Amino acid sequence: MTDGIGKRTVRDIDVAGESVLLRADLNVPLDNGAVADDTRIRESLPTIQYLVENGASVLVCSHLGRPKGERNPDLSLAPVAERLAELLGEPVAFAEDCIGPPAVEAAKALGRGEVALLENLRFHAGEEANDRVFAATLGTLAHVYVNDAFGAAHRAHASTAGVAAFLPGVAGLLLEKEVRYLGSLVADPPRPFAAIVGGAKVSTKIAAIDHLLPKLDRLLVGGGMANTFLKASGVDVGASLVEDDLLDMARDILARAGDAGVTVSLPVDAVVATGLSADAHAETVPIDAFPPDRMILDVGPATLAAFEAALSVAAAVVWNGPLGVFELDQFAGGSFGLARALAELDATTVVGGGETAAVVARSGLAERFTHVSTGGGASLEMLEGRELPGVAALLDA
């Protein structure tokens, strides 16, 4: 894979003595006012520690949830500041607003190597509106802007794109890593190159499949979206979720794959039930002997074995989308089985964010993958070949 992301990074500038506005992705789940999963905070640590160790004063900003431009105490970043301080082993000051006197005072009080966190950016409507005045106000708080929020880099918001018009902007270490792995893998993949595409709907993945198809040797389709491909191939999928308006699109993709010499693997058996619930009775059936009152909720063991065999020769694999309703144990076997199989491969293995990253995290195997993305929407847009606004706004290398 090619190196570099075409943008300057924190390593390319001297941050000693500089005040830095760091856009991180600290959008973590909270439970009773405490951080329930600190994965994204941990992923932000290398950039924060780099800035601290190199003598910058670090003013961190982030969004949390969807407060829709209004102050919501349940979506305060205060618990995140506490957890960040614990992980850093250093105090983290907390400003009760991201602009105005609290933010200005927090910025002025920071010494070299010190860290403060601003309150939720989305408490102000100007953030999501990419309001120029709001972005400029953020820009008055520091001398350098660092974007490390890959999970929000596909949004053209004030803190992810707008502020770079007022401060010199560079990429943080996490953003650099995400763009390098996802971008370079798709641009210049080791061969054979395989993609596993799952999730509920074809409609959310069409652009990614279109972009990947000319570069692939193998395409493996699972999840609810496989039902549309199966029906397009003449299989009766009973009561399963199908996007009937995309059957012609699915046939076109299969035809183009055939013309390009791309091997497509669809499920050959499935775990089915009459409904989706935790107490649903699940059974495994061959795809060609499908009970008409059942719906497909996971791939079966024969499909998983076929997928493993197809992937065994791959030099690089990208996976976006679970193979079944993994949140329910009886429909999780395909997704977790695939995670175990990929963890054993001697290949470059890259996982798109969102639900797929959750599967890998719950499997306990994340460290055995080459890269697990922190951004769901952002990773999918990179697989579609799109430039992310939060990356485009940074200084060119």
Three-state SS string over 67-89 comes to CCCCCCHHHCCHHHHHHHHHHHC
Instruction: Check if 376 is active-site.
Output: no
Q: Which residues contact 253 (CB under 8 A, 6 or more apart)?
A: 206, 209, 210, 213, 229
Query: Quick one: which H or E segment has residue 101?
Result: helix 100-109
Q: Are 378 and 178 in contact (CB under 8 A)?
A: yes
HSE, side-chain direction, 13 A CA sphere, residue 164: 22
68 vs 103, 122, 128, 129, 293, CA distance in Å?
20, 7, 9, 11, 42
Amino acid at 88: L
Give the start-end residues of each E strand in 237-393: 263-265, 269-273, 283-286, 295-299, 316-320, 348-351, 371-372
Could you confirm whether 201 is annotated as catalytic? Answer: yes
- The DSSP code for 9 is B
Kindly report the number of other CB atoms within 10 A of residue 72's CB atom: 15
Query: Which position among 55, 113, 377, 385 bears the catalytic label?
Result: 377
Annotation marks residue 354 as catalytic: yes
Q: Which of 201, 256, 340, 368 is catalytic?
A: 201
- Cα 95 to Cα 38: distance, rounded to the nearest angstrom: 20
Q: State the catalytic residue, choosing from 40, 122, 177, 215.
A: 40
| Catalytic entry in 172, 198, 354, 375 | 354
Q: Which residues are catalytic?
A: 40, 201, 354, 377
